Amino acid sequence: MDIMNTIHLALRALGRNKMRSALTMLGIIIGVGAVIATVSIGQGAQYLVQQQIAAMGTNAVFIQAGSNRAGATGARQGTGAVKTLVPDDLTAILREVPLIRMAAPAVNTRAQVVFGNQNWNTSMTGTAPDYLDIRNWRIQSGAIFSDDDVDQANNVCVIGATVRDNLFVNGEDPVGQTIRIGQLPFRISGVLEARGQSATGQDQDDLMLAPYTTVQRKIVGQTWFQTINASAISQEASLGAVQPITALLRERHRLRPGDPDDFFVRTQADIADLANQTQGVMTLLLASIASVSLLVGGIGIMNIMLVSVTERTREIGVRMAVGATDKDVQMQFLIEAVTLSMMGGMVGIVVGLVGSTLISKFLSWPTLVSPSAIGAAVIFSGAVGIFFGYYPARKAAQLDPIEALRYE
């Protein structure tokens, strides 16, 4: 008996019990749909994180004050725990590391900002004009403060969209207006283009930028930087700049061989690799949980196929009596199991795609369905049918024809 006749007989047998076949496929449908939906959520989150990392800047290199050195209590000091990153370090990096094309410091604090009868607590960063170019951030209206403002420590600032919306509730144009931080008046020179939330849920627009000299001298009273944001001449150069920056700063900070660095140098590639690893683990975890329903669906197929073998014992005996071989009988039941699994997988793919779309639309979660996930779902569906259908098919093929014909 050829394969086409075997497939025809298998489909006809499944068609005789349409409701039972549909219910058997339900487990596979739910399993495949759940796997595709969960993987799409994981990949969507990973894509969003990569977009946020790309938005951090062009070929960015981040030098942060901090140390792995254990303090007097034995506790290791992390980022921002030391005060050795100073303006002369920034100047030296620009002068002696040719792979770095521009750099801007960051002095971070919180500030209560007042305008008229409105006030708002926001993040304040003292920096230089190149900060926006390094971070690929545009000005929506107005302009960034100048190098002269930095040199003279002028009270001028650029605000984010969230600060604008909370201070200028009547729709006034913020550019040129004067706001207050404590007793200090600050003139707004520009408004930043809105960026929305980061991958960690942080509002990127809830901030204001000012000359770092102004923040250091008039707001926080410090002479050191928490961070130096730098931009390399190319992506490859950002990786190549790590070693010379490290050597330069160790020399400037008079660190002896064997002493730990009192700074951290990271690149976008480092951050992206860490994010990829984290998101990959989360996607795998979600897919593993969803795959349990595929296992349950496979067990359901095995159960129904065993019931089918028992119900059709006499039919099997008749087929063997008229010349069907063990291989023919085994192939028929195996094809039935694979057909149930594959049809459930196809419907499950549709369910997964629709579910991903609905999740993205109504829950505002990023989703990204990749062709590889769909291909894996198809292959896995077929594998489930073969794995869980083999035992019932083998059992049917091993029936004794005489005993089968006597079965009532």
63 is a domain residue: no
402 is a domain residue: yes
Q: How far is CA 148 from CA 209, 211, 224, 242, in A?
A: 15, 10, 20, 30
Domain-terminating residue out of 208, 233, 261: 261
Is residue 151 domain-shared with residue 255, that is, in the same domain? yes
What are the tens digits of pLDDT across the range 152-179? 999 999 999 999 999 998 888 999 999 9
Hunting for tokens 């008039």 — which residue is that? 218
3-state DSSP percent of the chain in helix, strand and coil, to 5: 55, 20, 25
Residues 6+ apart with CB under 8 A from 152: 213
Please give the average per-residue pLDDT across 364-368, as a whole number. 77
Q: Which domain holds residue 193?
A: 85-261
What are the tens digits of pLDDT across the range 176-217? 999 999 899 999 999 999 988 765 668 889 999 999 999 999
- Tally Cβ neighbours within 10 Å of residue 329: 27
315 is a domain residue: yes
What is the per-residue pLDDT for 173? Answer: 93
Which among 306, 302, 321 is positioned nearest to 404, based on CA atoms?
Answer: 321
268 is a domain residue: no
Is residue 152 domain-shared with residue 181, that is, in the same domain? yes
If one counts the domains in the chain, the total is 2
Is residue 250 domain-shared with residue 316, that is, in the same domain? no
Domain-terminating residue out of 238, 261, 284: 261
Is residue 23 domain-shared with residue 169, that is, in the same domain? no
Q: Which residues pair with 112 in a beta bridge?
A: 121
Q: What are the φ/ψ torsions at residue 357 (nearest 5 degrees)?
A: -65, -45
Answer for the pair 100, 230: CB distance below 8 angstroms, yes or no.
yes
d(CA 352, CA 40): 9
Is residue 164 domain-shared with residue 298, that is, in the same domain? no
- Tally Cβ neighbours within 10 Å of residue 204: 18
Answer for the pair 381, 295: CB distance below 8 angstroms, yes or no.
no
DSSP-derived pairing of the beta strands 100-115 and 263-267: unpaired
Is residue 94 domain-shared with residue 243, that is, in the same domain? yes
89 is a domain residue: yes
Domain-terminating residue out of 261, 291, 324: 261
pLDDT at 37 over 70: yes
61 is a domain residue: no
Is residue 45 domain-shared with residue 104, that is, in the same domain? no
75 is a domain residue: no
Number of residues in the chain? 408
216 is a domain residue: yes
Is residue 172 domain-shared with residue 98, that is, in the same domain? yes
Hunting for tokens 């298998």 — which residue is that? 10
Is residue 237 domain-shared with residue 299, that is, in the same domain? no
- In terms of pLDDT, which residue wins out, 322 or 350? 350
What is the per-residue pLDDT for 186? Answer: 97
Is residue 326 domain-shared with residue 370, that is, in the same domain? yes
DSSP run (H or E) holding 230: strand 227-232
What is the per-residue pLDDT for 200? Answer: 61
Is residue 236 domain-shared with residue 115, that is, in the same domain? yes
Local confidence band at 277 (pLDDT 50, 70, 90 cut-offs): low
- Tally Cβ neighbours within 10 Å of residue 289: 12
Is residue 103 domain-shared with residue 241, that is, in the same domain? yes
Which pair of structure tokens corresponds to residue 51? 């977009």
Q: What are the φ/ψ torsions at residue 49 (nearest 5 degrees)?
A: -60, -45
Helices marked H in 67-224: 87-96, 130-134, 147-152, 161-167, 212-214
> pTM of the predicted model, to two decimals?
0.61
Q: What percent of the chain has pLDDT over 70?
A: 85
Position 331, amino acid: M
